Amino acid sequence: MVDKHIPDDTLLYLNNVTVSFDGFKALNNLSFLIKSRELRAIIGPNGAGKSTMMDVVTGKTRPDTGEIYFKGSVDLTRHDEAEVANLGIGRKFQKPSVIESLTVWENLELALKGRRSPFESMFKGLSSEGSKKIDDVLLKIRLQDRRDLTGASLSHGQKQWLEIGMLLLQDPELLLIDEPAAGMTDEETFRTADLLRELSQERSVVVVEHDMAFIKALNCRVMVLHEGSVLAEGSLDHVQQNQQVIDVYLGR
C-alpha cells in the first residue's frame, strides 16, 4: 500500500476516490477506512453516492482516480466483480436474488457449490462438511425451521436473511449490504440489526440504510455521505447533532 500511515487493523482503504458520470461526480475524493471486524453504517440522502461506493469497491465501476486497497496490499481497482467476490468481499443488493422455486436449503446448497467448478457441482453431492456449513448458516440466519420451505413462501425479511446466508457460505471477510431493512416489519428490522452485529464479530460489515431505528440498533460508527464525500463520521448521537447533517439529510 502506498500510504504509510494506515493502521494495521485496516481491512478496506479508500483514498481520494472519484467517479464521474458525464462530468457529474457521484464520488468526489471519497476517503475512509474500515477496520477488521468493524460494523459500519452509512447514511445520506438519495444520490449521495452510497451505492456507487459499493460499485467501486466490488469492481462493478472503475474509479477515475483514487486508491482502493483490501487487506493492505490488494488493489481492488485492478479486479473485476467475480474476482472481487473471490477475494472475500460479499455484496447484497437491495433486491433479493433468492430462487423462489427452490427450498431454503437448496438455495444455500447452490450458493455453497458456486465456489466449485460447474463440473464438480454437477457430479458431486454435498459433503458432510458442506452440510454442516449450511446447518451453521441456517442457525445464524434463524431459518432452521424453514429449511424445506420454498423461497416463494418466505416473508420479505426472511428472503433478505436467506440472501445474507448465501453470501456467508462464501466466507467473506467484508460484507457490503445495501438497504436491508427497506420493506421489513419492525420486528424483522431489529432481528436484522442483531444478525449484522453478530456477523461483525467474525468479519467486517458495511451497511447502507435510511431507517434510523435500525441504525440506532446497530450501535456502531456511522458515516454520512453527501455529494460523493464524507460529510460527518462518529457515533449516531454525534452525527445527529451535526448541523450540516441535519440540513442535508436528517432535517428534511
Residues facing residue 89 across a β-bridge: 174
Question: Which amino acid appears at position 105 of this protein?
Answer: W
What are the residues binding Mg ion (CB under 5 A)?
50-51
Residues facing residue 33 across a β-bridge: 13
User: With CB cut-offs between 5 and 8 Å by kind, which of Mg ion, ligand ADP, none does residue 46 bind?
Assistant: ligand ADP
User: With CB cut-offs between 5 and 8 Å by kind, which of Mg ion, ligand ADP, none does residue 10 bind?
Assistant: none
Closest CA to 154 of 101, 90, 95: 101
User: With CB cut-offs between 5 and 8 Å by kind, which of Mg ion, ligand ADP, none does residue 49 bind?
Assistant: ligand ADP
CA angle 222, 228, 233 (to 5 degrees): 20
Q: How far is the CB of 64 from ligand ADP (least distance, A)?
A: 13
User: With CB cut-offs between 5 and 8 Å by kind, which of Mg ion, ligand ADP, none does residue 48 bind?
Assistant: ligand ADP
Q: How far is the CB of 55 from ligand ADP (least distance, A)?
A: 7
Q: Which is nearer to ligand ADP, 28 or 103 (CB)?
A: 28
Q: Which is nearer to ligand ADP, 43 or 169 (CB)?
A: 43
CB 176 within 8 A of CB 92: yes
Q: How many CB atoms lie within 10 A of CB 69?
A: 21
What are the residues binding ligand ADP (CB under 6 A)?
21, 26, 44, 46-52
Q: How far is the CB of 21 from ligand ADP (least distance, A)?
A: 3
Q: Which helix (H) or strand (E) holds 43?
A: strand 39-43
Q: How far is the CB of 58 from ligand ADP (least distance, A)?
A: 13
Q: Which is nearer to ligand ADP, 185 or 244 (CB)?
A: 244
Q: Which is nearer to ligand ADP, 21 or 93 (CB)?
A: 21
Q: Which residues contact 57 (CB under 8 A, 6 or more apart)?
A: 12, 14, 68, 76, 84, 89, 176
Instruction: State the SS3 of 110-147.
Output: HHHHCCCCHHHHHHCCCCHHHHHHHHHHHHHCCCHHHC
Q: Which is nearer to ligand ADP, 54 or 195 (CB)?
A: 54
Q: How far is the CB of 61 from ligand ADP (least distance, A)?
A: 7
Pairing of the two strands 39-43 and 204-208 = parallel
